[in-house]
Amino acid sequence: MSDLLQTIRGLSKKTESKIVMVVLDGVGGLPLELNGETELATAKTPNLDALAAQSQLGQVELVGAGITPGSGPGHLSLFGYDPLDYVVGRGALSAVGIGVKLNKGDVAVRGNFATLGAGRIVEDRRAGRPSNEKNAEVVAQLKAAIPEIDGVPVEIYTESEHRFVVVFRAQNGEVLGANISDVDPQDTGVQPLRAEAHDDASGKTAGLVNAFVERAEAALKDDAQVNGVLFRGYSDVPHFPSFADVYQLDAACIASYPMYKGLASLVGMQVLDVPGEEDALDGKVQVLRDNWDKHDFFFFHVKKTDSTGEDGDFKAKVKKIELFDALLPDILALKPDVLCIVGDHSTPSKLSSHSWHPVPVLVRSDHGRKDLTARYTEEEAQKGSLGLRRGPDLMPILMANALKLNKYGA
């Protein structure tokens, strides 16, 4: 356990106060043109604006200066786990999120279905975001084509849209290494990469991955859209200090995407059932309402602010921000003692990808100060009294505002 978590563990105390952490995934943005406005600044957000006037604002760097976070490290950071100390591949997060049990020696891999053109050139890293039904059809096709590789059982699962999960099952006490380079080049106009092992223990796994890629392309060659696979985020069985043990919190996760449910599960949060599609935020609010008396910490995840940014769709991202703003009064009506609104990373539509830019954070509490800020935007956050913080500092700030930390020292 890191020094910070050890310290917080020693100070944490159980109280009746409630904390809600809303993660607007990828909410940070950039103007499309010089001196223009970001997605947050463009959006009409009267409820967020009113809340900002009652709150403290600042910025958060999830990993470190200039480092672009993946979603896993970004969320771990928000939960107080320094992502430089606690490393987990996206494969394990996705696998656990869809209910797959990983055993010692197994390796889970997160995959994207992709569209490959002539010469195996990547044309679309997400294969046009196929429906979950199409995803399931392709997974069934691959299961039939690749039940095992060199005697190693291969399990393939639908995650969501273009995402799927592969688990290579270790046999006879063997431990498969997970220290492997990505197949996903994270760019278009180039070929997929070959998986390379970074240590001897991962050599066999790299061979399994490369063989899977070849067999998958052969099985999918007649599909014009979903005809390739890209891998990143290899991981074996991860272990984290318990969120409940560190913070003395009974925490619940309200999320739709498997990866975020997996991450919450790995740190010990209770994952609540969420009805409907990801866009059905009113369903998530109802789950929050229904479980309000059962927990004292809620992680409330909103995905589409990220997906629209990754798609380079500025207007759609603005719309998703506005949809959340319309539901904000329903969250405020529950009167959380501490409400935090933050992102796990920035996903500017201008870049169509995650970026290194700090994310704006808002903290409203009954025991907090308020800033002279008018809106929840990147520019206003730069003026806020919370300043520029590292992600793992956020949970202690929320705990303090909820009066859940004892004094340190005499």
pLDDT by residue (tens digit) across 177-212? Answer: 999 999 999 999 999 999 999 999 999 999 999 999
Band of pLDDT at residue 318, cut at 50, 70 and 90:
very high
Q: Where does 261-351 show beta strands of DSSP type E?
A: 270-271, 297-302, 338-342
Band of pLDDT at residue 395, cut at 50, 70 and 90:
very high
3-state helix, strand, coil in the chain (%, to 5): 35, 20, 45
Q: What angle do CA 254, 272, 77 make, to 5 degrees?
A: 45
Count Cβ atoms within 10 A of the Cβ of residue 80 and give its class: 0-12 exposed, 13-18 middle, 19 or more buried: buried
- Polymer length in residues for the chain: 410
Band of pLDDT at residue 3, cut at 50, 70 and 90:
confident
Rounded CA-CA distance 305/348 in Å is 10
Domain ranges of the chain: 3-86+240-401, 94-235
Q: Label the pairing between strands 152-160 and 270-271.
A: unpaired
Question: How many other C-beta atoms can be found within 10 angstroms of the C-beta atom of residue 141?
Answer: 16
* pLDDT score for 399: 98
Rounded CA-CA distance 292/336 in Å is 9
Q: State yes or no: pLDDT of 233 exceeds 90.
A: no
pTM of the model: 0.78
Q: At a CB cut-off of 8 Å and minimum separation 6, what does 298 contact?
A: 18, 19, 20, 21, 251, 252, 254, 288, 291, 336
Q: Which of 327, 394, 306, 388 is nearest to 29 (CA)?
A: 306
Band of pLDDT at residue 90, cut at 50, 70 and 90:
confident
- Minimum mean pLDDT range among 251-260, 272-281, 371-380, 384-393: 272-281
Mean predicted lDDT score pLDDT of the chain:
94
Q: Stretch 50-72: mean pLDDT, rounded?
A: 95
Band of pLDDT at residue 264, cut at 50, 70 and 90:
very high
Rounded CA-CA distance 42/300 in Å is 23
Q: State yes or no: pLDDT of 382 exceeds 80.
A: yes
Topology adopted by domain 3-86+240-401: Alkaline Phosphatase, subunit A (3.40.720)
Which residues make beta-bridge pairs with 156? 166
Q: State yes or no: pLDDT of 96 exceeds 90.
A: no
More confident residue, 259 or 321: 321
* pLDDT score for 294: 97
* pLDDT score for 89: 75
Q: State yes or no: pLDDT of 237 exceeds 80.
A: no
* pLDDT score for 291: 98
* pLDDT score for 334: 97
Cα–Cα distances in Å, from 368 out to 57, 251, 298, 334, 362? 11, 22, 19, 18, 11
* pLDDT score for 81: 95
